[in-house]
Structure 1
Amino acid sequence: MHIDLNGKVAVITGAGRGIGRDIALSLAHEGVHVVACDVNPADIESVAAELTAIDPRSRGYACDVRDATAIDALLNEAHDALGSIDILVNNAGVVGDAPIDELEEATWDLIHDVNLKGTFLMCKAVAPYMKAQSSGRIINAASFAAISPRVRSVAYATSKAAVAHFTRGLAGELGPWNITVNAYAPGMIPTQMNHFAELPDDKQSELLDTLTLRRWGSTADIANLICFLASDQASYVTGTLIDVSGGKLATQIPSEAYQAD
C-alpha cells in the first residue's frame, strides 16, 4: 500500500511540540505543505525552521484556537498562499484537572475552550474551503480518557468525550462533500504534557501493567495513523474514534499474560 500525500496542504494545531510536532514533521516528510500552528511563538518558530528545511512552502503561525478572528485570518492566508486546505488536524489540547471539589471554574473553562471549542472553531472555519473543493480530511484529537476517564480528570475526560461525539456528528454533516471526519484516542504516549516517562519506576510499572502491549507508545505511532487517515487509502473511513493505546484495558488484567507460569 502506497500512501501518497504529495502536494496536499495540512493545517495542524498544537504543532509546537510533542505529538503535534511529530505529526507536522511526518506529514512534511510525506510531501505535504504543512501549516503548523501553536499558541506558543517560541515553539512554533522552532518547528517552522525544521519544516521549511524539509519543504520551503511549509510555514508556522502563532495562533490561539480560541480566537475565531485569528483562525479566519490564518486559514485565509494559508489558502491564498498554498491554493487549498486538504487536511485539518485539531491536535491542540490542555490538561489541568483536580478533584471536583477543588477544580477551579477557570480551569474547567480553559480545558473546554481549548480542547472542544477550539476544535469547533477550527472545523467551522475550514469547512467552507473543503466544501468548495468537494474534498477534505478532518482529524480530531480525542484521548483514551474519552473512553475511560481517570480519577481527578473529569474536565479533561468530558472535553475529549465531547470531541469524539462532535466528530461523529460532523462526519454526518460533511459526508455529502466527500469530507471525512475522524478522531484518534492516544493512550500512554509520554509527552511534556503528561510526563509519563518521568514518573518513578514503580508508578511507570503500574501504568504499563494496564497495557496489552506493555510499553510506552511514541509520537510516531500517532503520526503514522494521521498519515493514513489523511490519505486516499482511508477514503471510506469516517465518523470513527480510533484507539491508539497499545490495547489499554482491552482485557481485564492484561498483565497476566506477562506473568511467569
Structure 2
Amino acid sequence: MTPATTRSLAGKTLFITGASRGIGLAIAMRAARDGANVVVAAKSVTENPRIPGTIYTAAAEIEAAGGQALAVPCDIRFEDQVEAAVSQAASCFGGIDILVNNASAIDLRGIDALEMKRFDLMHQINARGTYLCCKAALPHLRRSANPHILTLSPPLDLNPKWFSPNLAYTMSKYGMSLVTLGLARDLAADGVAVNSLWPETAIATAAVGNLLGGDELLRRSRKPEIVADAAHAILVRPAKSCSGNFFIDVEVLKEEGMADFSTYAVDPRVDAVLDFFLDAPITAKVTKSTFHLGK
C-alpha cells in the first residue's frame, strides 16, 4: 500500500460533526493541509472559558492551514438542523465526499446516579445523531467518486465488563458502532465506505481534562493528531475495498509504515493509558491503570 503521506484529500469535501475542537478539529486540520474543503458542523458558536473553541475559530484555523472552511451551527439532535447544514455544505462546495461522525456526549455515571435527561442526551447525540447525519449526507455521498463515512466509535464486544458501571454511555457508543456494522453492508453496492475508528489510548481533549481524569490523565494521554493521522490514512483509501472495519488508530498507522508513536505523547516520560473498550495494549508504553475507566 502506498503510504498515506503520499496520498491527498485535496479538493475533497469533509462534513465533520463536533469539529470545533479536539479530535474533530485535528481531523479537519489534517485534511486542510491537503487543501480540502471542511464543513465545521457543531453547536459551539460562542467561546466557553472551560472549553475553548467555536465553529468560527476552527474555520479560521482550517483556512490558515490551507483548506477551505464553512462554519455551520448545527445540533445533530435535530433533524431540521442537520438537513439544513448538509444542504448548505453541498451548495457551498458542490457536494460531500466524506462524513466524519465525531460529535459525542459522555457521562460515566451508573444507573443509580444518572438522570434520564443525561441518558437521553447521550443517545440523541451519539447513536441517533450518527444515524441521522448518515441519512442526510447519503444522497450526496452516493454521487462522490470515493465516498467515506468514518465514525469515532469502538469495536463491538459484548463482554459485560464494558457495560458496567457505565451502561448508558456504552449503549450509546455501541449504537454508533452498530450504524457502521449495518450501513457497511447496506451501502456496499453503492461503493460507500463505512468504518469506525477508535484510539488505543486516552486522547488529550477537553472531556479528558474536565470530566474524566484532570491534568494527570491528560499527561498520560496522546495528542488528537494520532487519531487525525489515522483518519487521513483511512479516508484516502479506495472506498470500495475499505469498508466494515473497526479500526484502532495505531494499527492503521502501522499499516502505513509507522513504528514510533512517541511524538504523539503529551508527556513521553510516562506511559499512556489504555482507552475504553480495549482489552490489551497494541503498542509499547501503554498501561492499564485506575484511569482505564472502561474496567
- Residue 38 of structure 1 deviates from its aligned partner by 1.0
Q: Is the 8 A contact 2:97 2:145 kept in 1?
A: no
Among all aligned residue pairs of Structure 1 and Structure 2, give the percentage whose two residues are the same amino acid.
30
In the alignment, the residues of structure 1 paired with residue 237 and residue 166 of structure 2 have an alpha-carbon distance, to the nearest angstrom, of 36
> How high is the TM-score relative to the length of structure 1?
0.84
SS in 1 for 2:208: coil
CA distance in structure 2 between the partners assigned to 1:72 and 1:151 by the alignment: 35
Structure 1 pair 50–81 and aligned structure 2 pair: CA distance change class (3 A): same
The answer to whether 1:18 aligns with 2:22 is yes
Letter in structure 2 aligned against 1:34? V
For 1:32, the equivalent position in structure 2 comes to: 36
Root-mean-square deviation (Å): 2.8
Q: Distance in 2 between matches of 1:137 and 1:244?
A: 17
Match of 2:102, as an amino acid?
Answer: N
* Cα distance between partner residues in 2 of 1:82 and 1:110: 31
* Structure 2 counterpart of 1:67: 78
User: What does residue 137 of structure 1 align with?
Assistant: 148
Distance 2:286 2:23 in 1: 30
Of residues 215, 222, 240, the one that matches 2:245 is 240
1:212-236 Cα deviation digits (max 9, x unpaired): xxx5222011001111111135652
Instruction: Give the CA deviation at 1:159.
Output: 1.0
Structure 1 equivalent of residue 197 of structure 2: 184
| Contact preservation (8 Å) 2:146, 2:238 | no
What SS does the corresponding residue of 1:80 show, helix, strand or coil? helix
| 1:78, distance to aligned residue in structure 2 (A) | 1.2
Question: Is the 8 Å Cα contact of residues 38 and 67 (structure 2) preserved in structure 1?
Answer: no
- TM alignment of 1:183-222, pairs within 5 A: 183-186=196-199, 187-195=201-209, 198-200=214-216, 204=217, 216-222=221-227
CA contact (8 A) 2:130 2:179 kept: no
Structure 1 runs (4+) deviating above 2 angstroms are 52-57, 132-135, 143-152, 196-200, 232-235, 243-249, 254-257
Letter in 1 for 2:244: G
- Does residue 7 in structure 1 map to residue 23 in structure 2? no
Q: TM-score normalised to the size of structure 2?
A: 0.75
Deviations 1:56-88 (A, max 9, x none): 632211110111111111111211111120010
Q: 1:149 aligns with which of 159, 162, 165?
A: 162
Q: Distance in 1 between matches of 2:86 and 2:229?
A: 25
Alignment pair present for 1:104 and 2:104: no
Report what 1:162 is aligned to: 175
2:106 maps to 95
| Structure 1 unaligned spans of 5+ | 209-214
Specify the SS of the correspondent of 1:89. strand
Instruction: After TM superposition, give the deviation of residue 144 of structure 1 in Å.
Output: 6.9
What secondary structure does 2:248 align onto? strand
| Structure (1 or 2) with the greater helix fraction | 1
**Aligned match of 2:185:** 172
**Partner residue, 1:211:** none
Tell me by how many angstroms 1:51 deviates: 1.6
Aligned partner of 2:60 in structure 1 is 49
| Residues 1:249 and 2:272 aligned together | no
Contact 1:3 1:233 in 2 (8 A): no
